[in-house]
Amino acid sequence: MPFFARFATPMLLLLTACASQPTTRQQDRPMALDEAGVTALYASVDAAAEAYRAALQQLAGDDPAQGNAGVAVATAQLRDAVSGCVAASGCDVNRVVSVYDALLQERAQALDAQSEPFAVLPTEEITAGEGAIPEQSPLLAEMPESGRSVALLNGRDLSDLIAMKGPVKASLNEWLTWLRPNLISAWENYQYMRYLMWPEYEQAGLPEALLFGILAKESGGRVHAVSRAGA
């Protein structure tokens, strides 16, 4: 299973559970596309994917500025394609999103290759299922309420604690349809900050889905965005 798909399930459940109430959106009638229109949309996705991969090569080579610019352009084209496919009948959304998913994995691998490995923090290892809270965790020292989340999880998967009720299902459907571009954009932005933030959460025994859920919900992972929660 792709890494993004494997990670998305608990993260999406977290996002939907965090919503104070389900939002509503007036759905437009799907735009009908003939076979030629759908084929043209798929062709634009393939072209954007090729441009994206070429930009990744520049990013990993000696022209990172040009690579970043190319990634931004290709990403915008892919977002438009996803939005167009969602709004059109006869378009296979899974086909378009699977291309985007593969590109995100390639980009994550490229970023991992360029970044330094996580530092080994001098604390005792947390054993899954014990609900242990490291005394020296900077995150727990800064945010004492996080200890409650650690105790609540007690080694269990985050998705096991979220009941799939009506409002959760409705919000989950929104994140998987018209909010999908926002979700993917937040995931891309998160990759740049992951190596700085995730080690602290991991040390505290908190799930990564919690960290990403906060960023996606509050700021979309944009470092200069204003967040109500300070994310």
- Cα–Cα–Cα angle for 152, 153, 157, rounded to 5 degrees: 150
How distant is the alpha carbon of residue 162 from its chain centre? 19
| DSSP notation for the chain | --HHHHHHHHHHHHHHHH-SS-----PPPPEE--HHHHHHHHHHHHHHHHHHHHHHHHHHTT-HHHHHHHHHHHHHHHHHHHHHHHHEET--HHHHHHHHHHHHHHHHHHHHHHSPPPPPPSSPPPPTTS----TT-HHHHH-TTHHHHHHHHTT--GGGGS---HHHHHHHHHHHTTTHHHHHHHHHHHHHHHHHHHHHHHHHT--HHHHHHHHHHHTTT-TT---TT--
Give pLDDT, residue 187. 82
Contact yes or no for 187/221 (Cβ under 8 A): yes
- Average pLDDT across each block of 10 residues of the chain; the chain has 231 residues. List them in order: 50 51 46 74 90 86 82 87 80 83 80 56 46 51 56 57 67 76 83 83 78 79 52 46
Position 42: which residue type?
Answer: Y
Position 197: which residue type?
Answer: M
Give pLDDT, residue 149. 56
Rg of the chain over Cα atoms, rounded to whole angstroms, equals: 19
| DSSP notation for 139-169 | HHHH-TTHHHHHHHHTT--GGGGS---HHHH
Give pLDDT, residue 201. 79
Give pLDDT, residue 51. 92
Count of alpha carbons within 13 Å of 158, Cβ hemisphere only?
24
Give pLDDT, residue 50. 92
Residue found under tokens 């929104």: 174
Residues whose CB is less than 8 angstroms from the CB of residue 173 and which lie 6 or more positions away in sequence, other chains included = none
pLDDT tens readout for residues 30-48: 455 667 888 888 898 899 9
